[in-house]
Structure 1
Amino acid sequence: MKLFNQFTRTGLGLTAALTLGLAGCNVAEDADSPMADGGPMTEESQEMSPEDPMATEPGQGMDHGQDPAMSGEAMGDPMDGQGMHMAAMYLGPADDEFELRFLDAMIIHHEGAIDMAEEALEKSEREEVRQLSQEIIESQEDEIAQMEQWRDEWHADAPEERQMYDAQMSQTVEMDETTKSAMQMDMELGGADEDFDLRYINAMIAHHEGALDMARQAMENSDEPELQAFAQTVIETQTAEIQEMLALRDSWYMGADG
């Protein structure tokens, strides 16, 4: 339990830009990457509001390894050795298909959050965790239904398959299974042991950060008033849930030395 003694909240921030157009869903880090030539994810677009509990200084890198609570031991290697998708999810430029890509990405992302929340209902014995998880399920199921409706109304001619932005081809393409998994941020939360709630909270905070990143892109790139309002609601709701989870984590695990 000593690894829970110190928490660095900024360690939960998203640290690397994920280029979702690559077939292998590779992280863009080298000079030849499509994201390296003055890529779209600028400091301005990534900067968080002062109210955001995960906010950092613009351009400040956040080291995943600095947070003991997010270590492989505490998380139980949730990505089966691949590491968590601590990445900004780039949805492409402000073109005619941005809203389609946003809706498809956020729907899948919400489905991942619902899966984790349902697992928490099965495994957690804490009422606070169970209540929060139920609220996440209900709110995000409603939001999925709304996004599906907008997709049908705004993009009636779009393919049935989920769409994404291919950064190498600079165009919208069908989302492959690897990218769907990355969008969901699928995580193995482990068994119903004494540290399940810690793993769940850490994973859900990271998952919410992915939603916040995409919502900020919608605020910047979409001219659709309804989508702007929706993105603002996502930011407000999930920021509040992050604050709640941080408070619960601090209350239950700060100073634990057993």
Structure 2
Amino acid sequence: MNRTWKIVALTSSLWGALLVVVVMLVAPPVLDWRSDGWTSDHSRGLVHMRGDDMHGDSGNGMWATSEYAYLAEMVPHHLEAIAAAQELRRSERPEVRQLGEDIVASQRAQVRLMEGWLDRWYPDRPARDPGYQPMMRDLSGLDGDALDRAFLTDMVRHHMMAIMSSQHLLLSGDVEHPEVADLAAAIRDEQREEIVLMRRLLTGDQAPGLRICPTR
């Protein structure tokens, strides 16, 4: 039995490592403002994802270690994304406004599902992780290119965290209800596609003349 569990753990670790590599290849560089303009830095994105961005029952500050912890963390994570995406109503680009509308519609529906499950299956536990740490900056004072750029760079990291947390849950064997497994897979796949779209928007590949990330 111990050998079986070691094999399972090794397989999970390998899948997790592969997922990080794939997501980093798909995602754009993290853009950081310096005195000489916008610069690229992949390492800051990885640092941002570690630490207290997600809290699990294990207290390791990285992954949810139970179905309950996943749902309790993903609810505030989604609510933060919804609030940020609503700011895109002020975007000057129709492609970016549509992305915001899609995120709001999809994640609102997913929040309703998760809140219903938490109320039904875990009524004696908090419906939201009280230790959740926001990942998105305040967008209320931004407009034009600055708004689009800040949202897209922050939301790529935000989506990456949800993708890896969902994949971790699916590989962990901690899912107690098949509905949660279906939702975790849907979040993983949907947000992976949105990362590809956001990368195209940032690099100007989505439409001719659309380049949010300035050339140097």
Please point out which of 188, 198, 201 is paired with 2:138. 188
Cα deviation 1:181-214 (Å, max 9, x = unaligned): x1x3231235113332122111111110111121
Contact 1:124–1:192 (8 Å) recurs in 2: yes
Change (3 A) 1:242 1:161: closer
Aligned AA for 1:203?
D
Counterpart position of 2:49: 86
Counterpart position of 2:162: 211
1:249 aligns with 2:216: no
**What is the aligned length?**
180
Written as runs of structure 1 = structure 2, the 5 A alignment for 1:46-65 is 46-49=16-19, 52-55=22-25
1:229 aligns with 2:182: yes
Instruction: Give the CA deviation at 1:45.
Output: 5.7
Please point out which of 75, 79, 98 is paired with 1:131. 98
Counterpart position of 2:7: none
Change (3 A) 1:49 1:186: closer
Q: Distance in 1 between matches of 2:25 and 2:120?
A: 35
Consecutive unaligned residues in structure 1, runs of 5 or more:
1-41, 57-65, 76-83, 164-174
Q: Distance in 1 between matches of 2:86 and 2:178?
A: 32
Q: TM-score, normalised by structure 1?
A: 0.60
Aligned AA for 2:179?
E
Counterpart position of 2:32: 71
Overall identity of the aligned pairs, in %: 26
1:114 aligns with 2:65: no
Instruction: Give the CA deviation at 1:72.
Output: 3.5
Contact 1:218–1:227 (8 Å) recurs in 2: no
Change (3 A) 1:147 1:161: closer
Consecutive unaligned residues in structure 2, runs of 5 or more:
1-11, 39-46, 59-64, 205-209
Please point out which of 123, 128, 134 is paired with 1:162. 128
Structure with bigger RCO (C-alpha 8 Å, 6+ apart): 1
Q: Distance in 1 between matches of 2:99 and 2:22?
A: 19
Instruction: Give the CA deviation at 1:153.
Output: 1.8
Counterpart position of 2:193: 240
Q: Distance in 2 between matches of 1:257 and 1:220?
A: 40
More helix by percentage: 2
- Tell me the C-alpha RMSD between the 2 structures: 3.2
